Structure 1
Amino acid sequence: MGSKNQSSRWAHAINASSRPAYLAIADAIADDIQAGHLTAHQRLPTLRQLAQDLKLNFTTVARGYAEAQRRGLIDARPGHGTVVREMVGSGPVRRPVTPGHLIDMTMNMPPEPRDPALLARFAEAYASLREHDPYALLRYQEFGGTPEDREAGARWLKLPGVGGQRVLVCPGIQGALLALFTVLARPGDAIACEAVTYPGIKGLAAQLGIRLVGLPADGQGLDPDAFGALCAADLPKALYVNPTLLNPTTATLPLARREAIAEIARRYGVPIIEDDAYACLPERPPPAIATLAPELTFYLSGFSKCLGAGLRVAYLTTPNVRYTARLSAVLRTTAVMASPILTALATRWIDDGTAALAAQAVREESRARQKLAAGILRRAEFVTDPDAFHLWLKTPEPWTRIEFATHLRAHGVGVVVADTFTVSGPAPEAVRVCLGGAASRDECGHTLEMIEDAIEQLPALASRVM
């Protein structure tokens, strides 16, 4: 079969495919191998020749060949050009996107730095558990943690004037939020929050029969004036706020807004639930609301966003001892206690500086991935923060967020639509893209390129629909 017929066949396959052009090139090579049009050691067109034949740019064709080589279909040999690889047995098969091959950018987990020194410290801490009496870590513990664990938690939170006696060790932030919602509101009561906010509280509220009242927010987070107007008209039982690198919009409340929110909460006596899960990521975050209105604020932070979601240890401070006792009772009923093994690891890592080093490594890796995103997503409109490990990506017109997410999924990338985060009002035309789900920086860059290619195809797809 001549190279002209081959290029013509590939051009037809690429035009008919809904996948990015570089993936369609690799698919076309796979199809030709399976159909017998290409045989082992057969030489393929040069990159420049193929780019000219297919009327594609050189970079797209180069990525197509790189993808085919990654699949084991071809080899690039210096001095011999690009040739079809010899297959063993049935050989490589075409790899269409299936749920099993989906690159998951939906879970907002921190990237995992592969720094050898940091990994060695992790391993050393795991090994140190052998020094403990094993049964001491397998018995029931006093709820809220030992005095040593609470003091370590206080050092991690870094709230001025807050010592270990004001800290409860909890089995993750979500469990602590469940207890807070249970203590502060009854079925039918209202808790205020951002109109687009952390989706975990939507499930909690639905489970407990609590109404969430979404308040408008912008690039700087929650609007204090809207909070004040709500308090004057229909006093909520509490305000939930995700003040630092809000999931999903990445907004961080500046000091002036934190002060305004604290003043309004104090004026109306509204408790504040400050879920500061991302507080460890910025190098210089604004002061916590808990430092501005300590008599009203329940402050929460932990390790799931700076070490890993599997370290289900969080720290909760309460405004007074009465609330500490009530929350302890609820948490004891719903979760019994935080895992002593995980708590021992967390305390060690706080004490020996590993937790701070891990947070710094995650911060650096997040910044590197954000730079990748800024360089690759040229056609995308998104908001983010250098220290965040996710993006809030606006849906390209004329597509809806559902159509866009479906289009990305067809290209092998999973993202989360805005509906998941929306408490009230119409959902924004946006999706959340998590950069930490990719195992490596290279994989993250590859996935971002897939998103960019998918966006590049949208105008052509729109013209077909029209």
Structure 2
Amino acid sequence: MTIWCPDISAASGPIYLAVADAMEADIRSGALPVGTKLPPQRELAYQLGVTLGTITRAYREAERRRLLRGETGRGTYVAPAEIEASPLIPREDRTGELDLARNFAFPHLNPDLAKGLSRLSRTPGIERLNGFVPSEGLAHHREAGARLFRLFRLSADPSNIAVTCGAQHGIQVLLQALFRPGDAVAVDAFTYPSLLNSAPHLGLKLVPLPMLRSAEGRFLSMDPDALAAAARTEGVRGVFLMPNMHNPTAHTMSLAEREALVDVARRHGLRIIEDDPYTPFVRDELPALGTLAPELTASIASISKLLSPGSRIGFVHVPKEYGSAVRSLIGESTWMASPITAELVSGWIADGTLKRTLLEKRRVNAARFAVAGELLGEERVEGGMDKVFGWLHLDPETDPGAVEAELRRRGVAALSSRYFQSADRRPAPFMRLCWGSIAGETEFRTAINCVAEVLAAPQFKARILSGPVA
């Protein structure tokens, strides 16, 4: 460990920024080489004569600048200048890998692109699509979005819809439209991995909250009491929720769970971002949060998991007061989503291609879940026949990273819990397995068999779901 103590005597602004600036300067100059272990926060606070909170903010700011990385139980280190690529991003050179990690939801069953483009080429007035359009999208594309939102259990007003470059772009836009830098946003203890990276870069503080557990140990919704407490004590201004197929636990909230969280949001004036890309796979006809609390909720609908990730088309539906901000943010980031691919997708929504494709994906997914249940044991995997991934419970003492590494060594990709948790938390004994990224049924069975073999080893033996109610 380096005994690093910067000189901040000449600092004129916030002390935490002065510490972060000094750290960045020493890293850039080579005085703090990559891999150097930084002093514990409490020790540095003592050396500088400042509060522990000041140093905590300084370290967080340095992590936001990607200067540091924290390793649970080991400390904080100077990070490499080149950021490791996310395992969620596909690579062309992984052709031999059996992929249970990336939730691409049966892309081999997506509609015939050549036929779609052929239809698109015959669209009257197609040349208009080759120019600029309003940032929120053309009216008939937003109407197609309203039809799509019906599959997401939301009766959406086209005038409150905007077309985005996929759901990820929609999340970024909504985070900026609904919140300001410095705001705190509540998330589940396990949540969407990209959110964990993108929100801090927008200056937002994520507050992970505990999830309820059933008597059998299955994960339920965010604890509404914890959300209320966070609103009172941590100044949480909003909440990010996935009610219909929570990623990664696969839980679908009951009506009572939805109403309890909406009640807390209403009482404390919390804004809700509802991101539910897998809703059309779920057969339960439960109301969207945007239906229960339309004045508070911004909802996202995407076709990436349903039809065409390559089109990069998604839709957001927001309360009217945020419409102008959403339009401006889309304009500032990309000007507009592609009207060409929006037209392609709109045609698939209108002519029944979406519904036919979804039915086939549901059928194959049910068969895949049956295979996973047969080989792994349904009691070990949270999910169901209409869930496109499962949440695998490991022995409480098992290191999920070690299981992930052993599977990778055997040619199978899967994600341990650490990708769904904030960086300062110890990885929990769970893994997410996705059913739809492998095209062949034989290859899929081989991948699940490999998981079963690894878990059968004494050091990795999985357990039957059990545990206390949180």
Counterpart Cα distance in 2 of 1:403 and 1:379: 23
Residue in 2 aligned with 1:16? Answer: none
Instruction: Report Cα offsets for 1:102-161 as digits up to 9, x if no partner.
Output: 2222111102465xxx846x5432211111355322211122221111111111102565
Q: Give the letter aligned to residue 437 of structure 2.
A: G
> Which of the residues 207, 221, 239 maps onto 2:201?
207
Residue in 1 aligned with 2:323? Answer: 324
RMSD: 2.3
- Asked if 1:127 is matched to 2:118, the reply is yes
- Asked if 1:178 is matched to 2:172, the reply is yes
Q: Give the letter aligned to residue 182 of structure 2.
A: G
1:51-200 to structure 2, matched below 5 A, reads: 101-112=96-107, 114=109, 119=111, 123-132=114-123, 133=125, 135-158=127-150, 161-200=155-194
- Asked if 1:282 is matched to 2:282, the reply is yes
Q: Secondary structure at the match of 1:392?
A: strand
Query: Once the 2 structures are TM-superposed, how far is the Cα of residue 266 of structure 1 from its aligned partner?
Result: 1.2
Q: Secondary structure at the match of 1:192?
A: strand
1:199/1:119 CA distance change after superposition, 3 Å: closer
- Asked if 1:392 is matched to 2:376, the reply is no
Residue in 1 aligned with 2:9? Answer: none
Unaligned runs of 5+ residues in structure 1 are: 1-97, 462-466
Q: Give the letter aligned to residue 399 of structure 1.
A: T
Comparing 421-430 and 165-174, the one that deviates more: 421-430
Q: Give the letter aligned to residue 392 of structure 1.
A: W
Are the aligned partners of 1:378 and 1:452 in contact in 2 as well (CA < 8 Å)? no
Residue in 2 aligned with 1:228? Answer: 228
Counterpart Cα distance in 1 of 2:307 and 2:254: 25
Residue in 2 aligned with 1:370? Answer: 369
Comparing 212-221 and 391-400, the one that deviates more: 391-400
Are the aligned partners of 1:380 and 1:396 in contact in 2 as well (CA < 8 Å)? no
Are the aligned partners of 1:145 and 1:168 in contact in 2 as well (CA < 8 Å)? yes
Counterpart Cα distance in 2 of 1:229 and 1:398: 30
Query: Once the 2 structures are TM-superposed, how far is the Cα of residue 284 of structure 1 from its aligned partner?
Result: 2.4
Q: Secondary structure at the match of 1:162?
A: coil
Counterpart Cα distance in 2 of 1:380 and 1:419: 22
1:426/1:355 CA distance change after superposition, 3 Å: same
Comparing 270-279 and 101-110, the one that deviates more: 101-110
Are the aligned partners of 2:372 and 2:378 in contact in 1 as well (CA < 8 Å)? no
Instruction: Report Cα offsets for 1:30-80 as digits up to 9, x if no partner.
Output: xxxxxxxxxxxxxxxxxxxxxxxxxxxxxxxxxxxxxxxxxxxxxxxxxxx
Q: Give the letter aligned to residue 164 of structure 2.
A: C
1:325/1:447 CA distance change after superposition, 3 Å: same
Q: Give the letter aligned to residue 382 of structure 1.
A: V
- Asked if 1:410 is matched to 2:404, the reply is no
Q: Secondary structure at the match of 2:280?
A: coil
Q: Give the letter aligned to residue 170 of structure 1.
A: T
Are the aligned partners of 2:382 and 2:391 in contact in 1 as well (CA < 8 Å)? yes
Identity of paired residues, percent?
A: 29
Query: Once the 2 structures are TM-superposed, how far is the Cα of residue 212 of structure 1 from its aligned partner?
Result: 0.3
Counterpart Cα distance in 2 of 1:261 and 1:100: 43
Instruction: Report Cα offsets for 1:438-460 as digits up to 9, x if no partner.
Output: 11222211111121122233459
Q: Give the letter aligned to residue 362 of structure 2.
A: R
Q: Secondary structure at the match of 2:405?
A: helix
Are the aligned partners of 1:183 and 1:326 in contact in 2 as well (CA < 8 Å)? yes
Q: Size of the alignment, in residue pairs?
A: 360
Are the aligned partners of 1:197 and 1:422 in contact in 2 as well (CA < 8 Å)? yes
Are the aligned partners of 2:154 and 2:288 in contact in 1 as well (CA < 8 Å)? no
Are the aligned partners of 1:110 and 1:308 in contact in 2 as well (CA < 8 Å)? no
Q: Secondary structure at the match of 1:220?
A: strand
Are the aligned partners of 1:190 and 1:213 in contact in 2 as well (CA < 8 Å)? yes
Q: Give the letter aligned to residue 116 of structure 2.
A: A
Residue in 1 aligned with 2:294? Answer: 294
User: Could you tell me the TM-score, scaled by structure 2's length?
Assistant: 0.72
Counterpart Cα distance in 2 of 1:460 and 1:448: 15
Query: Once the 2 structures are TM-superposed, how far is the Cα of residue 178 of structure 1 from its aligned partner?
Result: 0.8
1:275/1:119 CA distance change after superposition, 3 Å: closer
Q: Give the letter aligned to residue 418 of structure 2.
A: D
Residue in 2 aligned with 1:353? Answer: 352
Q: Secondary structure at the match of 1:197?
A: coil
Q: Give the letter aligned to residue 119 of structure 2.
A: S
Unaligned runs of 5+ residues in structure 2 are: 1-92, 213-218, 462-470
Q: Secondary structure at the match of 1:280?
A: helix
Counterpart Cα distance in 2 of 1:257 and 1:347: 33
Q: Secondary structure at the match of 2:236?
A: coil
Q: Give the letter aligned to residue 96 of structure 2.
A: H
Counterpart Cα distance in 2 of 1:379 and 1:141: 49
Are the aligned partners of 1:274 and 1:290 in contact in 2 as well (CA < 8 Å)? yes
1:427/1:399 CA distance change after superposition, 3 Å: closer
- Asked if 1:247 is matched to 2:247, the reply is yes
- Asked if 1:433 is matched to 2:427, the reply is no
Q: Give the letter aligned to residue 317 of structure 1.
A: H
Q: Secondary structure at the match of 2:282?
A: coil
Q: Give the letter aligned to residue 102 of structure 1.
A: E
Counterpart Cα distance in 2 of 1:208 and 1:405: 30
Are the aligned partners of 1:109 and 1:437 in contact in 2 as well (CA < 8 Å)? yes
Q: Give the letter aligned to residue 156 of structure 1.
A: L
Residue in 2 aligned with 1:337? Answer: 336
Query: Once the 2 structures are TM-superposed, how far is the Cα of residue 198 of structure 1 from its aligned partner?
Result: 0.6
Q: Give the letter aligned to residue 132 of structure 2.
A: Y
User: Could you tell me the TM-score, scaled by structure 1's length?
Assistant: 0.73
Q: Secondary structure at the match of 2:363?
A: helix
Instruction: Report Cα offsets for 1:179-207 as digits up to 9, x if no partner.
Output: 11122223332111111011111111121
Query: Once the 2 structures are TM-superposed, how far is the Cα of residue 336 of structure 1 from its aligned partner?
Result: 1.4
